[in-house]
């Protein structure tokens, strides 16, 4: 069977890379896939990552999201209109010229759509809005990727999604219209399941789990082990942390200020050393390193020894191994929390979307969630004290819950296999 996975972002987002790796493993084991086609927003970088990281046959092409992207809405709509002309020309067996790069890219992607037996939208949390108009065109682009599959009479399956929230009800209605074009919807947590079931879709909806829970752990490199050992000789407690740029400027500054104060407090109260883990390092606007460096520069000079900013470009498997060596974790990036929880590391999650609370709820850890816009140093310090007091019981419960969550994750491939067996010739 040949599988096209669309709407992949970038391996430099290690959470998305973990989802991609988990999907490939599960789908290959379920179907013994003959060929994977991946449609990625950063296909040049992802080509090297996915082809070198797996023994599976993988080919990566530019994504629809990147192909039709343009900073001005008029030209973006023009590119979408042109792509429709190209699609129908292929359906009518008329080949447009390839000499224009845009036409070449869209034709290459459409070839993957036509060649694949099934189209799967990559797991993640991209079907939501948090603004009256920002992000709505993104929703349309994702919905367009579903529509193309239907135009070529290919089944389209959504893999382990978080869906919602939506700023306006009509945003939810727009997404519901796209979801009605799909053949199977898999959601990764209860909050999304409740949102989707209220849409009254005819498409089957299955509650599963995030593919990153099945990410294998790779050994920690020797130079990282030495770095950790050296830190432990100075401070007895090692705490991992991830941060991100998410809020409007004034609120973002306040969030970073509170994170700085939290780091100082943990060092003063527990002699803890806090290590920034580089979860996302995508250039041009989605780089957590920039936030970490701002926090470091804002710290009092006397406290800077308490905070290490690591900038290593690590594989998600190694990152999971490193996080497993730490005593505690405080994560704004949800997949960094998944890496920690999978290794039974007591964790505080700072949630910027409902998916965080939904996934933490599945692990009975919902009371260790702080919303990003309500996260203060005082609240986080109080929650960390509770985490310290309950650390042994938390580790024990996580060791019991993680295998249950992993079984939920495997429902993704089971549900897809059943659908393919029943419907795909």
Q: 61 or 115: which carries more pLDDT confidence?
A: 115
pLDDT of 98 above 60 = no
pLDDT of 404 above 80 = yes
Query: Which of 54-63, 273-282, 300-309, 312-321 comes out lowest in average pLDDT?
Result: 54-63
Q: 338 or 77: which carries more pLDDT confidence?
A: 338
- Does residue 395 form part of some domain? no
CA-wise closest residue to 123 among 21, 28, 35, 48: 21
**Residues 181 and 226 placed together within one structural domain of the fold:** no
Number of domains within the chain: 2
- Does residue 153 form part of some domain? yes
Q: Write the CA distances from 318 to 282, 341, 347, 386, integer angstroms.
A: 18, 15, 19, 29
CATH of the domain at 88: 3.40.50
- Does residue 398 form part of some domain? no
**Residues 202 and 234 placed together within one structural domain of the fold:** no
State the CB neighbour count (10 A cutoff) for residue 224: 17
**Residues 206 and 227 placed together within one structural domain of the fold:** no
What does the longest C-alpha to C-alpha distance in the chain come to? 70
- Supply the pLDDT for residue 9: 85
**Residues 256 and 233 placed together within one structural domain of the fold:** yes
- Does residue 396 form part of some domain? no
Q: Specify which residues 351 forms β-bridges with.
A: 371
What is the residue-averaged pLDDT of the chain?
Answer: 88
- Supply the pLDDT for residue 71: 61
**Residues 132 and 268 placed together within one structural domain of the fold:** no
**Residues 167 and 137 placed together within one structural domain of the fold:** yes
**Residues 231 and 207 placed together within one structural domain of the fold:** no
Q: Residue 110: which pLDDT band, with cuts at 50, 70 and 90? A: confident
Angle at 332 between CA 210 and CA 191, to 5 degrees: 45
- Supply the pLDDT for residue 144: 85
Contact 275, 238 (CB under 8 A): yes
Query: Which of 46-60, 65-79, 186-200, 242-256 comes out lowest in average pLDDT?
Result: 65-79
Tens of pLDDT along 354-374? 888 888 998 999 999 999 988
Total count of residues recorded for the chain: 425
Average pLDDT over residues 252-272: 94
- Does residue 394 form part of some domain? no
Contacts of 7 (CB under 8 A, 6+ apart): 39, 63, 65, 121, 122, 124, 126, 142, 145
CATH of the domain at 384: 3.40.50.2000
Q: 327 or 59: which carries more pLDDT confidence?
A: 327
Tens of pLDDT along 146-169? 988 998 899 999 999 999 999 999
pLDDT of 103 above 80 = no
Structure tokens at 144: 């367009």
pLDDT of 91 above 80 = no
Helix orientation angle between 354-362 and 190-197, rounded to the nearest 10 degrees: 120
pLDDT of 257 above 60 = yes
* Residue 62 backbone class (left: φ over 0; alpha: ψ -120 to 50; beta: rest): beta
Q: Which helix (H) or strand (E) holds 408?
A: helix 391-423
Q: For residue 414, give its domain range.
A: 2-214+406-423
pTM for this model (two decimals): 0.90
**Residues 365 and 245 placed together within one structural domain of the fold:** yes
pLDDT of 86 above 90 = no
Tens of pLDDT along 34-77? 889 888 877 777 777 877 766 678 888 777 666 666 566 665 66
For residue 56, which phi and psi values (nearest 5 degrees)? Answer: -80, 150
**Residues 207 and 308 placed together within one structural domain of the fold:** no
pLDDT of 199 above 60 = yes
pLDDT of 99 above 60 = no
Is the peptide bond between 165 and the residue preceding it cis, with omega within 30 degrees of 0?
yes
Contacts 24+ apart (CB under 8 A), 219-223: 219/318, 219/321, 220/318, 220/321, 220/322, 220/325, 221/318
Q: What does 210-274 look like in DSSP terms, one character per residue?
A: -GGGGPPPPPPPHHHHHHHHHHHHH-SEEEEEE----S-HHHHHHHHHHHHHHHHHHHHHH-EEE
Contact 380, 348 (CB under 8 A): yes
């Amino acid at each position: 069977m040949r599988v096209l996975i669309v709407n992949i972002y970038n391996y430099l987002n290690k959470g998305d890379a973990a989802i991609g790796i988990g999907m490939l493993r599960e789908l290959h084991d379920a179907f013994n896939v003959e060929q994977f086609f991946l449609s990625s927003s950063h296909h040049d970088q992802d080509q090297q990552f996915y082809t070198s990281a797996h023994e599976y046959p993988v080919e990566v092409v530019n994504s629809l999201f990147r192909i039709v992207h343009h900073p001005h809405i008029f030209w973006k709509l023009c590119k979408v209109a042109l792509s429709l002309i190209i699609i129908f020309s292929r359906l009518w067996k008329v080949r447009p010229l390839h000499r224009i790069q845009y036409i070449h890219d869209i034709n290459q992607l459409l070839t993957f759509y036509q060649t694949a037996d099934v189209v799967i939208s990559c797991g993640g949390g991209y079907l939501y809005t948090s603004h009256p108009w920002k992000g709505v065109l993104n929703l349309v682009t994702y919905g367009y990727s579903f529509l193309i599959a239907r135009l070529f009479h290919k089944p389209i399956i959504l893999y382990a999604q978080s869906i919602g929230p939506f700023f306006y009800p009509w945003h939810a209605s727009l997404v519901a219209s796209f979801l009605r074009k799909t053949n199977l919807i898999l959601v990764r947590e209860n909050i999304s399941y409740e949102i989707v079931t209220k849409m009254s879709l005819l498409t089957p909806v299955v509650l599963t789990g995030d593919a990153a829970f099945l990410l294998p752990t790779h050994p920690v490199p020797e130079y990282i082990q030495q770095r950790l050992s050296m830190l432990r000789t100075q401070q007895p407690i090692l705490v991992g942390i991830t941060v991100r740029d998410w809020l409007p400027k004034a609120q973002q500054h306040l969030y970073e200020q509170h994170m700085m104060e939290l780091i100082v407090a943990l060092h003063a109260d527990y002699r803890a050393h806090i290590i920034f883990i580089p979860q996302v390092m995508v250039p041009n606007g989605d780089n957590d390193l920039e936030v970490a460096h701002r926090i470091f520069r804002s710290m009092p000079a006397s406290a800077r020894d308490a905070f290490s900013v690591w900038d290593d470009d690590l594989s998600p498997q190694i990152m999971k191994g490193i996080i497993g060596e730490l005593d505690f974790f405080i994560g704004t990036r949800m997949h960094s929390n998944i890496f920690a929880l999978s290794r039974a590391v007591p964790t505080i999650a700072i949630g910027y979307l409902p998916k965080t609370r939904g996934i933490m709820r599945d692990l009975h850890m919902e009371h260790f969630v702080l919303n990003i816009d309500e996260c203060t140093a005082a609240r986080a310090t109080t929650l960390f004290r509770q985490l310290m007091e309950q650390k042994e019981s938390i580790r024990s419960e996580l060791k019991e819950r993680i295998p249950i969550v992993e079984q939920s994750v495997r429902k993704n491939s089971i549900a897809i296999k059943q659908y393919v067996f029943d419907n795909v010739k």
